Structure 1
Amino acid sequence: MKDFEALKSIWHDQVTLPKVSHEDVLKNLRKTRNGLASKLLIEMIGMGIAAAVLIYVWIASPFTMWTTHLAMIISISCCFYYILAMISNYRRINYDKLLDRPECYINHLKKYKHDRYIFNTRKYKVFSIFFTAGFILYFIEISFMTSLWVTVMVISFTFLWIAFCFVLMRTYIKLEEAKLEEMIQNLERLHKQFEDTDQ
């Protein structure tokens, strides 16, 4: 009986969450979604510029070693892979045809969040390994044209830059995960609110 009274007390003291407005949730959802889509678009454009520069350098420079040509193929392939992945993610985050079916849209966002996490962790590591390998292969030929200390300095800077990108990526992942989780929680709360109203 004592346990029942304690449980009853907790039940009555529990603060109910304030009701959320359907319009406010959709407005915030679109704002967050547009922010995430804009970042993907900027990444796409940046990688497109990088691919164009690499193609221009490959065509315009008289490279003689096979390692440099392999480096260019690897680097340009990495750029195109990243661009295609960003196009896919951009289309998925902008997909709002499920807004009239909240449960389906919540599942869509959960799957998108999971897939983005895999892309930003596992696939990004593989992408970085290939991109770094391309960069190192490129510098084999460059090392014959420049002094040793310039080559060492550039390769050291490259590895420092990659390490810095991994640190930034952790922050990027946390921010993106938080935004996607907020979208999901707001939609779940709104969905539960409608379910409670229907009962």
Structure 2
Amino acid sequence: MQAFDQLQELWQNHEVDVKVSADEMLQQAKKEVNSIKLKSALNILGMLASFIAIAALWIFFHFESWTTHVGISITIIAIGVYTLILYRDYRLISKTDFTAHPHEYLNNLKTYQLNRYKLYNSLYWFYVIALSLGIIFYFVEILSHFNTVQKVLAVGLTALWMLFCSTILRKAVMSREKERISLLIEKFERISGQISTPE
């Protein structure tokens, strides 16, 4: 039994030192950066598509109530501002060549991480409140054309969708993105360490 305890202690104290070259880490980091940039670009394109669709609705359909125009205006402004914030963050991670300037890119990545935290927390709630106000104003005229069942369905489904996006979906996306960016920052710190202290 004493031999087993000694073996277990030896196993627990044994540390495996895995050496990964800076080039290999840089290649892994490059894939992850490209993945984050692609996802960010797709988010921006989705927001632009929403902006264009709502603007087209406003231009090509005749609305009689002033509340509808206010609702659409609020929605378009909210989407536009959020899109500009997403674009600012996209530029932050895509403007610097991480192979040429790893330290500068690391600082940009940390700023990006902080910006994303703000985006998914305080700024997100301003966005949700603005969208909710826009939808409420929009629904004043639109719901008058619906029967009671359609009104309940429209309001209920909209509320459920916004609740789902604000809770489950937001937390899942936030958690996954936080983990990915943290791992990427860690890789760049290790790369910078290997470059600055040659073996």
Distance in 2 separating the partners of 1:95 and 1:183 = 17
Cα contact 1:20–1:190 (8 A) shared by 2: no
Say yes or no: does 1:158 pair with 2:161: no
Distance in 1 separating the partners of 2:18 and 2:196 = 15
Distance in 1 separating the partners of 2:135 and 2:197 = 58
Unaligned runs of at least 5 residues, structure 1: 1-12
Letter in 2 for 1:189: R
Deviations 1:151-179 (A, max 9, x none): 12111111100111121111111111111
1:181 is displaced (CA, Å) by 0.8
Please name the residue that 1:60 is paired with: 60
SS in structure 2 of the partner of residue 197 of structure 1: coil
Please name the residue that 1:73 is paired with: 73
Cα contact 2:22–2:194 (8 A) shared by 1: no
Please name the residue that 1:178 is paired with: 179
Cα contact 2:106–2:189 (8 A) shared by 1: yes
SS in structure 2 of the partner of residue 20 of structure 1: coil
Unaligned runs of at least 5 residues, structure 2: 1-12
Please name the residue that 2:25 is paired with: 25
Q: CA RMSD in A?
A: 2.1
1:88 is displaced (CA, Å) by 1.0
Cα contact 2:26–2:191 (8 A) shared by 1: no
Distance 1:98 1:194, change over 3 A: closer
Moved over 6 A (4+): none
SS in structure 1 of the partner of residue 121 of structure 2: helix
Say yes or no: does 1:94 pair with 2:110: no
Please name the residue that 1:191 is paired with: 192
Say yes or no: does 1:120 pair with 2:129: no
| Range moving further from structure 2, 28-37 or 143-152 | 143-152
Aligned residues: 188
Distance 1:157 1:195, change over 3 A: same
SS in structure 2 of the partner of residue 103 of structure 1: helix
The percentage of aligned residue pairs carrying the same residue is 27
1:98 is displaced (CA, Å) by 5.4
Please name the residue that 1:8 is paired with: none
Please name the residue that 1:137 is paired with: 137
SS in structure 1 of the partner of residue 15 of structure 2: coil
Distance in 2 separating the partners of 1:38 and 1:122 = 24
1:99 is displaced (CA, Å) by 4.0
| Range moving further from structure 2, 103-112 or 175-184 | 103-112
Distance in 2 separating the partners of 1:17 and 1:101 = 27
Distance 1:176 1:63, change over 3 A: same
Calculate the TM-score normalised by the size of structure 1.
0.85
Cα contact 2:78–2:127 (8 A) shared by 1: yes
Deviations 1:101-144 (A, max 9, x none): 43333222112101111111111111011011101110110121
Distance 1:102 1:49, change over 3 A: closer
Letter in 2 for 1:192: G
Please name the residue that 1:169 is paired with: 170
